[in-house]
Amino acid sequence: MSAIAEEIRQAYAAVGITLDQPATFGTYYRLLCAGCGRILGHVGDKLLPGMAAEIVSRQGDLYASGLLGCSCGHQKRMQEKPR
Amino acid sequence: MSEMDTILDAEERGRTGLWPFWRKPYAKGDPLPAFPAPASRAHRFDEGDPLPEEYKSLLLRMLRHEGERAGNKSFLGLMATCLDLAEALFPDRESKLIKAEYLAEELKHAIMFHRLAVGLERDFALRDVPYAHYSFHLPRETWADDAYFHFFVDLNGAFHSRDWRESSYVPLAKMATTVERDELGHSEMGYHFLQQICSEARGRELAQRLLAKWYPAALDMFGRSDSPNVPKFIRWGLKTIGNAEIRDLYKGYVDRKIAALGLDVPDERRDRKFL
């Protein structure tokens, strides 16, 4: 796993989203709900350093409000947990 | 019936009240802003002509960035993500079918650019070139993300294709009108989805927040304003316009469309990586 992909994996793990294995020919990764396994989206591995963590942290309130994240509520519950 | 007629016939039969999305904007006139006339028409090369080394190098560089080639595995990978998202996130059956039409049209481009690549340099036709710009890699976690991707990124393709109408490389100039029209349509498809999303308060709230992620990336796609290669592209007739100028035209276009959605246009310098 490239350094950027590892960075993306860590950023999404913090909000309850799993970075799947590379899809198709290796540049793009599925984002899966860590609670139920549902596909939530895709991300590519050519983000700039630091970008994944910044994007995900800025979206924290969107996961908390349910505007982003799985319909099972896993990311929402993750945001409600005291850190 | 020729191979191209077969494709055109298939396209005709795929038309609906919405698809293709380019139909309505072009029916009202030219939807894109006017580009400057080319500074020089001193060069003109057709398939099979011997190409000056610098010219060929710049042309290949441009086509690597474009990427829509049947032999480019990374392009097919990107298309696979679009298919995956259409299956996983689609809001209704009509939207899913629209995305299927989009994919079909992008694969038509892949055939067109494949032919161009074979005519230019056979080895290039099968070269895998992952999209290097971060905008192609931003996370798409909602239908709104996917809509922004099409609205902004496909529109970038339409603007570049408009410039290629005047290209000194004849095979590219011949394709440019079709590719421009289709890419404008793909952008309009994204905009159509954004209009649906922004028609209710929670959707509009999400769209406003996600715009902060997509807007700087969209402006960054045109590259640095002081790129040293641009004067070379212009001198060879491969471009008519610099990065800063085409970005300005694009910004004017998207800003009007964003405001029409009832969204606030972000500060153009915020979170930019390539000024």
* pLDDT, tens digit (0-9, with 9 covering 90-100), for A15-59: 999 999 998 788 999 999 999 999 999 999 999 999 999 999 999
The verdict on A43 touching B (C-beta cutoff 8 Å) is yes
| Interval B22-46 mean pLDDT | 92
A23 to chain B: closest CA residue: B77
Of B77, B141, B213, the CB nearest to A28: B77
B3 CB neighbour count, 10 Å cutoff = 8
Percent of residues, chain B, with pLDDT higher than 70: 100
The CA distance from B196 to B191, in Å, is: 9
pLDDT in tens, B147-193: 999 999 999 999 999 999 999 999 999 999 999 999 999 999 999 99
Predicted pLDDT at A25: 84
Predicted pLDDT at B39: 75
| Interval B33-49 mean pLDDT | 90
| B124 phi/psi in degrees, rounded to 5 | -65, -30
Predicted pLDDT at A23: 86
Q: Could you give the ipTM of this predicted complex? A: 0.97
Query: A-chain residues within 8 Å CB-CB of B81?
Result: 23-24, 28, 42
Helix B155-164 to helix B243-260 angle (10° resolution) is 140
The CA distance from B114 to B249, in Å, is: 29
Helix B3-13 to helix B93-120 angle (10° resolution) is 160
pLDDT band at B24 (very low <50, low <70, confident <90, very high): very high
| Interval B253-270 mean pLDDT | 98
pTM, two decimal places? 0.96
Predicted pLDDT at B268: 97
